Chains A and B, each alone.
Chain A
Amino acid sequence: DVKVTQSSRYLVKRTGEKVFLECVQDMDHENMFWYRQDPGLGLRLIYFSYDVKMKEKGDIPEGYSVSREKKERFSLILESASTNQTSMYLCASSLPYGEAFFGQGTRLTVV
Chain B
Amino acid sequence: DAKTTQPPSMDCAEGRAANLPCNHSTISGNEYVYWYRQIHSQGPQYIIHGLKNNETNEMASLIITEDRKSSTLILPHATLRDTAVYYCIVKGDNQGGKLIFGQGTELSVKP
Contact = CB atoms under 8 A, between A and B. Distances in A.
Interface stretch (B12-20, B61-69, B73-81, B88-96): B88-96
Interface in B24-71: 34, 36, 41-46, 49
B100 A42 contact: no
Nearest to A105: B43
Chain A interface helix/strand/loop/mixed = strand
A100 B99 contact: yes
Taking residues whose C-beta sits less than 8 angstroms from the other chain, chain B's interface range is 20 to 34
> Across chains A and B, which 6 residue pairs bring their CB atoms closest together, nearest first?
A102-B43, A97-B93, A99-B46, A43-B101, A50-B95, A96-B95
Interface string A78-98: 000000000000101010111
19 contacts: A31-B95, A33-B99, A42-B103, A43-B44, A45-B101, A50-B96, A56-B98, A90-B43, A94-B99, A96-B93, A96-B94, A96-B95, A96-B97, A98-B49, A100-B36, A100-B46, A102-B43, A102-B45, A104-B43
Residue among B87, B93, B101 with most chain A CB within 10 A: B101
A57 to B, nearest CB: 10
A101 B46 contact: yes
A71 B17 CA distance: 41
B46 A56 contact: no
Interface of B: 34, 36, 41-46, 49, 87, 93-104
Contacts of A50: 95-96
Interface residues of A, number: 28
Nearest to B99: A100
Contacts of A31: 95, 97
Given A42-B102, A92-B99, A98 B43 contact: no
A34 B98 CA distance: 11
A98 B101 CA distance: 16
A45 B96 contact: no
Nearest to B2: A42
Given A30-B95, A94-B99, A99 B43 contact: no
